[in-house]
Amino acid sequence: MTTTAFPTTTLPAGAGDFFALTKPRVMRSVVFTALCGMLAAPVQLPFTLAFTAILAIALAAGSAGALNQWYESDIDALMKRTAKRPLPAGKMERETALQFGVALGVFSVLLMGLAIGLIAAGLLAVSILFYVLVYTVGLKRRTPQNIVIGGAAGAFPPLIGWVAATGSLSTLPLLMFAIIFLWTPPHSWALALLIRDDYAKGGVPMLPVVASAATTRWQMLFYAVLMAAAAVAPWPLGLAGATYGLIATLTSLVFVGLTAWVVVQRAETTPAMKAERVLFVYSIGYILAIFATLAFDRLTA
Amino acid sequence: MTPDPLPHSDLVRKRQRSRALVLALILGAFVILVFAISIAKIKAGMPH
């Protein structure tokens, strides 16, 4: 980590700055997938405990986001996409962000332990530590495979949601984990192709920065095909019904088709990258649709 | 005509007050949540 001079903070950070530090948009998708994992489980928790488990998962995601921003504030200051975050914008002291992130993380794990149990709390702690230590500190600045391995961090929430409800693991939550894990590379690299210059300016070795766009596009297709297989798998395995199977098959085929469209592109500059833009937007809708359908299918089975 | 901006010390006090208020609300919500968790666990017959 390098030292970057930020604008001097003269006012204590406001509530909005703390909220921004938790990466609320990421937190929203974490809550959604965790809720789907919980709803897909064969055991339903009492409402209060389910609410507390989801709250703990949301707070853990907020903690990971805050600690990520604390560690990456030097990179964030260099990138257009992140320059307005509280730390690079000089709205908050770095020490405050660190204290907030650690306190939120410890609190979320204790809350999960109190309401649900040790296994769910342990998994929650592992997910925070994985995102912060393995992805943020260990991988992000060192390897173009950062988001491939780091994608596991984003895949934890449905697993934790399921474990919170059942107290154990089985095939379906592991498949849910695999879907997000394999979805992350094509999703993140579609964005990385669009803002490659921004990542290069921040010195982040994303795959499109260190390899050609063509290499990135082929790797995206590789993961998209694996992801499609994981997404459809619950149907033939008898873990989900025909409604899920048909929707998963159709939406996954579209995902792979859009990725194949990306592969045949030759564009190197952002304004011409329509296929990448379409895939990026579709990938967000796709993951929400897959998880919502799976939860609905299991609830109505 | 725009109103005079608040003096710096007043702005600091205002921020501190709003942060203290948010923290108080969070602590209050936490107390209620712990109570609700205990009741839910008792009802569900879970160890608490």
Per-domain boundaries in chain A: 16-167, 170-301
* Residue A12 confidence (pLDDT): 82
**pTM (two decimals):** 0.90
Q: State the Cα–Cα distance between residues B17 and B30, nearest whole angstrom.
A: 20
Residue B3 at interface with chain A, using a CB cutoff of 8 Å: no
Which residue of chain A has the CA closest to B38?
Answer: A115
Within 8 A of A13 by CB-CB distance, chain B residues are: 15
Shortest distance, CA B3 to any CA of chain A (angstroms): 20
- pLDDT value, residue B16: 85
Sequence-separated (6 or more) residues with CB below 8 Å from residue A159? A37, A123, A169, A173, A174, A176, A177
**Shortest alpha-carbon distance between residue A144 and chain B (Å):** 40
pLDDT, tens digit, 9 for 90 and up, residues A255-287:
999 999 999 998 777 777 999 999 999 999 999
Does residue A112 have a pLDDT over 60? yes
User: Pick from A12, A13, A52: which is nearest to B33 by CB?
Assistant: A52
Whether residues B43 and A46 touch (CB distance < 8 A) is answered with: yes
H helix intervals, chain A = 15-21, 24-40, 47-71, 73-78, 94-115, 118-129, 146-166, 171-194, 196-202, 207-210, 213-232, 242-263, 274-300
What pLDDT is attached to residue B8? 74
Mean pLDDT along residues A178-183: 98
**CATH code of the region A16-167:** 1.10.357.140
pLDDT at A268: 78
Provide, as residue numbers in chain A, all residues whose Cβ is less than 8 Å from the Cβ of B40: 46-49
Which residues in chain B show pLDDT less than 50?
none
pLDDT at res. A113: 96
Whether the pLDDT of residue A224 is over 70: the answer is: yes
Position A193 confidence tier, pLDDT thresholds 50, 70, 90: very high
Choose the closest CB to A49 out of B8, B15, B40.
Answer: B40
Instruction: Tell me if chain A has a CB within 8 Å of the CB of B33.
Output: yes
* Residue of chain B whose alpha carbon sits nearest to that of A45: B44
% of chain A at pLDDT higher than 90: 91
Is A9's pLDDT higher than 70?
no
Non-local CB neighbours of B17 within 8 Å, separated by 6+ positions: none
